[in-house]
Amino acid sequence: MARQSPKPVGKPYTRHQPLGDNRLARHASALNQHEPHEALDTLERSQAHRSTVNTDRIAITVEPYGVLNDLLGGLTLSVHVPAPHDVNALMAELTHRFPAAASTLLQTAAAVDDQLIGRDTKLDDGQTVALLPPVSGGQPDTSRLTESPLDPASLMHETDDPAAGAVVVFGGTVRTENRDKSVTAIDYTAHRPLAESAMADIEAEIVDEPDVIACRIQHRLGRLEPGVASVYVVIRSGHREAAFAAGRKAIDKVKERVPIWKNEYFTDGTREYVPGVALDSEPT
């Protein structure tokens, strides 16, 4: 009797067995029902995040003065300031973008519409903020700021008063040596509206001193060579002691409070802003 082969148990395994119609339908359904929704959710979350970031920031135009013009790389730049949208946040953003300017920004004052503002002052979208680094000594010309040669004779005429028994004139000039280097020129720049206002305030404060009758200050702007006068202070008072003291006080106040910057040029071809003192950023 012929030997019979055993009957196979179950369906034989086939390496290239295709998916059955039902399995293929279920697989396609899973793709349609889950993966597109997950991708859409991811996209929506990403868009929502970007929207939050954009709404959280405001656009500010920055006008850097003095050494900040070099450190921040231009006359103006646009900065997107995060919440809480104040001057501190602006300074933090600039420090992040320009780490080399960090130490200067710590001593920098801010101004909006030619008025100094505090570090906690809120900023508005689209505003322009002037950044004023420590001052170093100090459009049409004015009687206090000019790019023309200074005129001490006119200051003497303006302050003339027969009640005065003493007159003191202080003049500051560009010198040939500074910080152990030979100077070829100094470029004086200023925030004109704030400088003009500060000089007028100083004149009024000096006149309030005992026995002082008149005070006038004039400062030169632009590039000056050694030997050229950069500033004059004229004081008239009843007696010489008051005149000498008032003249010293006036020039000290100019160097501390007037936003004027000095960029020195040297014979070795280098240049450097003269270190100065930080302006008071709190409004008075």
Return d(Cα 176, Cα 14) in angstroms, integer.
97
Return d(Cα 154, Cα 140) in angstroms, integer.
18
Q: How many CA atoms lie within 13 A of 70 on its CB side?
A: 10
Q: Where are the beta strands (DSSP E) in 47-180?
A: 58-64, 77-81, 109-112, 115-117, 128-132, 145-146, 166-173, 177-178
> Pick from 189, 199, 77, 205: which is nearest to 144 by CA?
199
Q: To which H or E segment does residue 8 belong?
A: none
| 8 A C-beta contact, residue 141 and residue 203 | no
Q: Per-residue pLDDT for the chain (284 aa), expressed as one digit of tens each?
A: 444 544 444 444 344 444 444 444 444 444 455 454 554 454 455 454 444 445 689 999 999 988 888 888 877 899 999 999 999 999 999 988 898 888 889 889 899 998 899 988 999 999 999 998 887 654 455 689 999 999 899 899 999 999 999 999 999 999 999 888 999 999 999 998 899 999 999 999 999 999 999 999 999 999 999 999 999 999 999 999 999 999 999 999 999 999 999 999 999 999 988 887 787 755 34
Six-digit token string for 266? 């040297």
